[in-house]
Amino acid sequence: MTTSTEARSSVRSATHKRTRTAQNAVGLGLRMRRNWQLYAMLLLPMLWLAIFAYWPMYGVIIAFKDYNVVQGIWGSPWAGMKYFDRFVESYQFWRLIKNTVYLHVYELVATFPLPIILALCLNTIRKKWFSRASQLITYAPHFISTVVVVGLLVVLTSPNTGVTNKLLGLFGIGPQNLMGDSGMFRHLYVWSGAWQTMGFAAIIYLAALTSVPPELHEAAIVDGASRLRRMWHIDLPAIVPVAVILLILDIGRILSVGFEKVLLMQNSLNLDVAEVIDTYVYKIGLASSVPQFSYATAIGLFRSVIGLVLLVLANTFARRFAKSSLW
Amino acid sequence: MSAGTLPPDEQRLAVGASIQDTRGDKIAMACIYTALGLFCLAILYPLVYVLSASVSNTRKVSAGEVWLWPVGFTLDAYRAIFDYKAIVSSFGNSVYYAVAGALVATVLTLLAAYPLSRKGLPGKGLIMGAFVFTMMFNGGLIPTYLVVDQLGLLNTRWAIILPTAMAVWNVIITRTYFMVTIPEELVEAGKVDGCSDFSFFWRVVLPLSKPIIAVNLLFYAVGQWNSFFNALIYLTNEHLFPLQVVLRQILIQSKVDPSQMQDTSKLLQMQELQQQLKYSLIVIGMIPPLLVYPFVQKHFVKGAMVGSLKG
């Protein structure tokens, strides 16, 4: 007890660095006991994490087993790599990979720069009310559900009453069922996504822009730099580190596109381009009358592992060339 | 305009502006204002159009007479919604899931974020790593479903609330918020006064954290309100369905069940109303989150700023 009071008093009087050493001098067990209330607070969140995040990770082993409900996860017989082989050799394989990668890469290339441009524009606006109003409006779609966004697409492109067909009608083009047109699926998916996410995605860039010291702009003004030049040479570099990190995360998600929205936009007419890995997993694993748990898990695991590998690769690449990385 | 009357911040900008607003800059600014204005209109147009169509005469909508403002104002579509039992009950369910889900999730997030924000907690790095790893890798759809099944949660309200209760991203942002706003000196001062960690958290940390609590509540509540996939896989009992699942059936799959109409005399109008029901349903589905987010909006940029600090 005396040591602990001594330690505590020395902690109080010490500077920050010495606090550390003093604490280290106290045994690990004692430090843990002294913080028991903090561990108690962590108990519920960690229980949640164990049940809903790590227990499913253990469940992933059914990808290597012939899972059946009676024998359970551990009791079911091993199947080795059977399900992975079946997936790679199946006629669905290349179609699924192609659809998923196409959709994600199109989305990435088309929509990644948009929030950056939006943030740069919002940042130069000097009229407070205008800036605040545009932010309020551009955030709005982020808070609308995927179901409603797809519902909007359905009513806006409806062949009978939709606005798009009235517009096409002005150019003398007859009614088109855009939602049922597999050639239009990717465009509708990507651009409605841009409509929904662009404003909110700009927030993180706006936050990064607040760190730009105004003196830089003042100095540049004195040197006669134009507005656009200052955006390019002062504001943009402040954003790049954040953009690189977001890009790395996006590349890690290359095989997992916005699955809910794809599922909602699917119909029998566009399935040839709209079937992606995640929707396929859902269909054979849960929606089918004969659920194939092991096969679906194997496909899901295949996707997750590739995603993780891509994330690590992108991060290594970014660390070497862009000097900004996740870890 | 005399620069002297402006607050210091604007003053500097105004002085700057008088020096540098060349013709090229004026054109550039005009372009930026126009582009932003057009973009805002593009965002608002679908929303206004649907709102107008939902209160217009059905025939006028079908005939394509509605472009921007309502034509032949009527509230029939909203009356039809109140007659459709599944919509009313699922609306109630969604409110329940949003409120309960947001409370459970926010409590869990605060409980996780505070200890992880404290300096020198043994094992902190390890625990944080366990949280962050789940962002990069997860068990996937089927194993998660099997866990929910084994816990006996299928077809209960808990299946909607628990599996998505905590978002690790929110834990990270909340933790960084604590690290920035609760200085180590304050913790030490609390200790000197004999304040335990529990009472310090309750009496000092929480009152200082109202903005981050508000942001958490909003994000979780909106997330629950908008989610449909968990209900799709975990629920088969129609009485537990949230609004989004019913919206999907009617809006996207065009499934309208006549037996859901309380007043059978209205069945004949059903065909005609179905199209209009779609517009009013979209409005009902999107209005609640849109009413709430402006109140918390001012915290967003700050939250993102805090979240981007590496901890």
Question: Does A10 score more than 60 pLDDT?
Answer: no
Question: Considering only CB atoms, which chain B residues are within 8 Å of A180?
Answer: none
Is B302 in CB contact (< 8 Å) with chain A?
yes
Check whether B103 has a pLDDT greater than 70: yes
* Proportion of chain B above pLDDT 90, given as a percent: 25
In this prediction, residue B97 carries a pLDDT of: 94
Do A91 and A201 have their domain in common? Answer: yes
Q: What DSSP character marks residue A259?
A: H
Q: Please compute the mean of the pLDDT values over residues B64-90 and round it to a whole number.
A: 81
Position A270 scores a pLDDT of 84
Q: Are residues A28 and A92 in the same domain?
A: no
For residue A121, give the CATH number of its domain: 1.10.3720.10
Q: Contact, B144 vs B163, CB < 8 A?
A: yes
**A173: closest CA of chain B, how far (Å):** 16
What is the domain count for chain A?
Answer: 2
Average pLDDT over residues B36-54: 90
Residue A116: pLDDT band with limits 50, 70, 90:
very high
Asked if residue A251 belongs to a domain, the reply is yes
Q: Which residues of B138-170 are buried (b: 16+ CB within 10 A; e: fewer)?
A: bbbbbbbbbbbeebebbebbbbbbbbbbbbbeb
Element (H, E) at A286: none
From CA B289, how far away is CA A196, in angstroms rounded?
A: 14
Better-predicted residue by pLDDT, B274 or B75: B75
A46 and A86 assigned to the same domain = no
Residue ranges, comma separated, of all CATH 1.10.3720.10 domains in chain B are 81-308
Assign A14 a pLDDT band (cuts: 50, 70, 90).
very low
A124 shares a domain with A10: no
- Mean pLDDT rounded to a whole number for chain B: 82
The residue from A68, A93, A118 where one domain ends is A68
Lowest-confidence pick of B105-109, B113-117, B208-212, B263-267: B263-267
What's the confidence (pLDDT) of residue A2? Answer: 40
What pLDDT is stored for residue A203 in this prediction?
86
A residues 86..115 contacting B (CB < 8 A): none
Q: Of A178-187, A250-259, B161-170, B274-283, where does mean pLDDT reach its minimum?
A: A250-259
Same domain, A32 and A179: no
Q: Tell me what ipTM this predicted complex has.
A: 0.83
Interface of B with A in 79-108 (CB under 8 A): 108
Chains A–B, number of C-beta pairs less than 8 Å apart: 284
Q: Is residue A77 part of a domain?
A: no
A13 and A104 share a domain? no
- C-beta atoms of A144 and B62 within 8 A: no
Has residue B101 got a pLDDT over 90? yes
Distance CA B177, CA B209 (A): 8
Residues A34 and A179 in one domain: no
Cα–Cα distance measured from residue B189 to residue B206, given in angstroms and rounded to the nearest whole number:
17
pTM for the structure as a whole: 0.83
Indicate the CATH number for domain B81-308: 1.10.3720.10
pLDDT of residue B270: 62
Give the pLDDT confidence score for residue B11 in this predicted structure: 45
Q: Are B46 and A152 in contact (CB under 8 A)?
A: yes
Query: How far does the CA of residue A65 sit from the closest CA of chain B (Å)?
Result: 13
CA B270 to chain centre: 33
Same domain, A146 and A272: yes
pLDDT computed for residue B100 by the predictor: 95
Same domain, A90 and A42: no
Residues in chain A: 327
Do A173 and A95 sit in the same domain of this protein? yes
Pair (A100, A28) in one structural domain: no
Between A74 and A283, the more confident residue is A283
Alpha carbon distance A164, A153 (integer Å): 10
pLDDT in tens, A191-214: 999 999 898 888 888 888 888 888
Task: Report residue B126 CA to chain centroid gap.
Answer: 31
Residue B290 with chain A: CB contacts under 8 Å: 140, 143-144
Q: Using CA atoms, how far apart are residues B87 and B78, in angstroms rounded to an integer? A: 11
Q: Which of A240-249, B10-19, B230-239 has the highest mean pLDDT?
A: B230-239
Tell me the torsion sign for CA atoms A24, A30, A36, A39. positive
C-alpha triplet B235, B238, B242: angle, nearest 5°: 70
Is A90 found in the same domain as A63?
Answer: no
pLDDT digits (tens, 9 = 90+) for A61-71: 888 888 887 78
- Determine the structural domain holding residue A178 and report its residue range: 82-321
